[in-house]
Chain A
């Protein structure tokens, strides 16, 4: 059974804080992704990674960075959190197959 886990279900941070969102998958998948999901806007891709230490920008990378030091772990970093980054953040992974497996999500509130 594929499992994608995220470090927190709910997170509250203050404006200007550095925020780390962690994602771990246990299926040895090469590809990992970070999305944010907002009402009326759907899922939008922030960053993805095809391999360890590799990263590619998605559609909305501004204000975010990522780190992939190990194959199973993909971290999303908000260098200086802002209120417009309040959102649901979803991590996903897959191998070469098309099906993505999503984690349960982290609802981040920036005050």
Chain B
């Protein structure tokens, strides 16, 4: 089976930096997605990593280590609107994500 692990919940302070980790053990691997989902809304795409290393996109960065089966999403200068669920998903092939259970991030003042 496929195993994708991420913390259930995290809290952080406005203006701080938070790192959301994701580890995976899967039968195949083409790449790793991160999606953001606000409560009651649809998920929206954040990033897709294929190669090892860090990719930066504004306040959000995503890191991948294929050899370690590990990724993280880094959020800088946290804002209240960043309170959401963050979904890690592995692309097992064909760009179809297999999702983890998601991490609920609560940002407080």
Residues of A that sit less than 8 Å from B by CB: 4, 33, 40-45, 48, 59, 90, 94, 96-105
- How distant is the Cα of A61 from the Cα of B99 in the complex, in angstroms? 16
Chain B residues with a Cβ closer than 8 Å to the other chain, count: 19
- How distant is the Cα of A101 from the Cα of B33 in the complex, in angstroms? 13
- How distant is the Cα of A15 from the Cα of B94 in the complex, in angstroms? 35
B40 nearest CB neighbor, chain A only: A105
Task: Let me know if B98 and A97 touch, CB within 8 A.
Answer: no
A9 nearest CB neighbor, chain B only: B40
Task: Let me know if A45 and B101 touch, CB within 8 A.
Answer: no
Q: What's the minimum C-beta distance from A48 to chain B, rounded to whole angstroms? A: 7
- How distant is the Cα of A99 from the Cα of B35 in the complex, in angstroms? 10
Contact with A along B16-42 (1 / 0, CB 8 A): 000000000000000101000000011
Residues of A contacting B95 in the complex (Cβ-Cβ under 8 angstroms): 94, 96-98
Assuming the A-B contacts A33-B96, A96-B95, are A104 and B41 also in contact, with contact meaning beta carbons closer than 8 angstroms in the complex? yes
Interface set, chain B 38-53, CB cutoff 8 A to A = 41-45, 48
A58 nearest CB neighbor, chain B only: B96
Task: Let me know if B101 and A100 touch, CB within 8 A.
Answer: no
Most chain B C-beta atoms within 10 Å of own C-beta, residue among A97, A102, A103, A104: A102
B99 nearest CB neighbor, chain A only: A43
Task: Let me know if A59 and B98 touch, CB within 8 A.
Answer: yes
Residues of B contacting A40 in the complex (Cβ-Cβ under 8 angstroms): 101
Our pick among B31, B43, B44 for the contact of A98 (Cβ within 8 Å) is B31
Our pick among B42, B87, B96, B101 for the contact of A103 (Cβ within 8 Å) is B42
- How distant is the Cα of A102 from the Cα of B101 in the complex, in angstroms? 17
Task: Let me know if A102 and B42 touch, CB within 8 A.
Answer: yes
Our pick among B42, B96, B102 for the contact of A45 (Cβ within 8 Å) is B96
- How distant is the Cα of A43 from the Cα of B100 in the complex, in angstroms? 8
